[in-house]
Amino acid sequence: MTSRDAYPSPVSNLARGPLTAQVHLRAGGVSVVLDVSEGRIPLVTHWGADLGELSAQDAAQLTEIAASPIPQNAPDVPLRVGLLPQLSDGWLGRPGLAGSRPDGSGWAPRLVTTSVRLTDASTGETREASTADGAGSAEPSAAQAGAAPAGAAAPAAPQLLQSGAGTAVFSLFAEEAGLEVELTLELLASGILRTRAAVTNTAALAYALTDLTPALPVPLRAEEILDFAGRWTKERTPQRSRMGVGVHLRENRRGRTGPDSAHLLHLGTPGFDFEHGEIWAVHTAFSGNHRHYAERVSSGFQVIGGGELLQPGEVRLARGESVESPWLYGAYSPAGLDPIARSFHSLLRAREGHVDTARPVTLNVWEAVYFDHDLDRLTDLADRAAELGVERFVLDDGWFGGRRDDYAGLGDWVVSADVWPEGLTPLIEHVTGLGMQFGLWFEPEMVNMDSDVAREHPEWVMGPSLAALPVESRHQQVLNLSIPEAYAHVRDQMMAVLDANDIAYIKWDQNRDLIEAATRATGAAATHEQTLAAYRLMEELKQAHPGLEIEACASGGARVDLGVLEHTDRVWVSDCIDPLERQQMNRWTSQLLPFELMGSHIASGRSHTTGRLHTLGFRAASALFGHLGIEWDLAQATETELAELRAWVEYYKQRRELIFTGALHRSGGEDDPIWLTGVVAPEQDAALYELACVQRVGVAPHGRLRLPGLDPARRYRLTPRVLGERPTGLVWPAWAREDHTAASDRVAAPHTEPAALTGGVEMSGAVLSLAGIALPLIDPETAVLLEVRAID
């Protein structure tokens, strides 16, 4: 919460007459048009395909033609569903703003818009529409007319504010409720829309806020829902359903994003896939309790929205205090899921301070040594890693306090003298001397009751009261960072470790849900403040140590959202590195995040979380499309495996520029045996595709495979690629072999190549992307690569 010592009163503006204006933003093939008619709450009259330049009359008429007829037994004015839906507009669904005062008032505020400012992102120019300026070229229509505030002047002519990418800020006031609201809506160059709301209490009585959730309209033709579920080691599992009257509500009360988070909530035309269907999607950029929802009402309107889920009493605004919702991101696509993913990737790649494309190959030691920290063993592991071309070495859990297992030590961020009598310096100097960066694991928000800090300050542990604690999870509790002294303890101990050592990277873990997350001294819920404190701590550490990278890890992939990525540099997709499971999890994590932000490691031969055995080729190919790393005790690898692993590391280094700048293209449904994942260079002069067989089906997957994203007018060389051991059951079609005529070579004995692979076959982009190529035969849980280069 923040406090405003002085806040403008819009009452004088109301006396000049209610505001009537339209706003039109255009970017990334998307148009957003908003209407403010006679001071009513901003209404999105269009969010979808680019409408081109509009006149003031066009924009005003759009509001008129979008107004629904008034049915029998309904309010006598057209229903208006604003950015913050409210009862006073006739909306009987979820309100966007909800709360109350101790006397029960303020629960249904009636917001009036008093001004709108539009800032053009390219020029920085700001224009403002207000009740003092009646300029405009169109008269208010009958559909725009509504009840003006008592005593207000006659309606002003509509004004049109128009730009490309830009930001519109609407000032609203609910006089009787004593609330000010500032609504911000921004259309970014990528075509991504984002909006948020800030509310200020202007009255003497405190205001207990219970909901601040913006919503965006979606046409009724969008009637199929895609969002995600999951659990630990199985994050981002897709689920589809049909939209009906009522609410599709995904609430998360874990105090973190969660392995079962909605991730993105899509609403689209039936049967949409990666390349087909009109889709609208939203994502709530917040790492604490949050919600996503879609709602359809019987009067024929539907919205999608999202925001923070507030616990009772978490936000109480005294006079002059404010609170702001997290960003709600929205994306529109006329042609399937991939354009939505590419829009989010463009957004993130354009952000200030985004990671560069030389993402260092990382070795994390957790699955190699667990808690067994031995200097000789770790330096040997570092030697082996450096010889393979690894560029970052990360020491995981177990280096601090009494942390010899997961029962003790969390919260004591001091290098253990028992395990590291000379400190971390010998290992760090060895690692950096080999030319690698050094990274270190922390879990700053957590605490074991068997720790010095918990013994000295049990009141810092979250819980419902001083007499009770929540159930333990992974033998740990949550340290309440909303208590200034607890925050300072963690910050100062972490700063001391970073100040004393050459540490380039933090793996920031968070291994349990926040259950009964309250300040024990008062019993007041504290998830909201805990989340903001975690963000603040990340920023303090990065400001004090420029260049420090932070990975968001939370029992693997339970903290993957655009809120935490305002403060971090990658996410750990999952604690499960089984390549078959990662095919699904990486596939859908990339619906929001580009590959350079997704930790994707080559696992040991037998998965530590599933027990499955996979070839190195499948493990490496499944990890290639991501920020590549290794999670494997290299001392147990054979020389043959090390040679193949070295080849994969080198292959990644040669192609990471393409992988981290290219446009994502995918094909293959959840029930299909072959999944395609590809990236196409911005200039469309190169592409890299992976074909992965994820299951065996009754009918062999013959037929053709299209390679999307290529320029139909250019000519390309297509080259099949297998690194290391040939996948079992692999039979290449004729186009991939030197001998294009030997039909007898179409079947080969296992583990033998039927004919030498070609150095590439030349054909047009139209053939590759529209007609397609014959698929190779490959066994389940194997993968091959296809390289494409322009030859013109």
The catalytic residues are 509, 575
CB 381 within 8 A of CB 367: no
Single-letter amino acid, residue 298: S
* Residues 731 and 754: beta-carbon distance below 8 Å: yes
Strands (E), 567-660: 570-572, 598-603, 627-631
**Two tokens, residue 61:** 């008429």
CB 497 within 8 A of CB 491: no
Query: How is residue 588 annotated by DSSP?
Result: H
Report residue 161 CA to chain centroid gap: 31
Contacts of 412 (CB under 8 A, 6+ apart): 400, 401, 402, 403, 451, 452, 453, 493
- Residue 581 tokens read as 């499971």
Q: Tell me the DSSP string of 283-352.
A: EE--SSSEEEEEEEETTTEEEEEEEE-PPTTSEEEPTTEEEEPPPEEEEEESS-HHHHHHHHHHHHHTST
Closest C-alpha among 490, 506, 515 to residue 553: 506
| Residue appearing with tokens 């063993």 | 377
Shortest CA distance to 624 belongs to which of 655, 646, 594?
Answer: 655
Which of 275, 178, 277 is CA-nearest to residue 219?
277
Backbone angles phi, psi at 652, to 5 degrees: -60, -45
SS (H, E, C) 681-707: CCCCCEEEEEEEECCCCCCCCCCEECC
Say if residues 573 and 585 touch (Cβ distance below 8 Å). yes
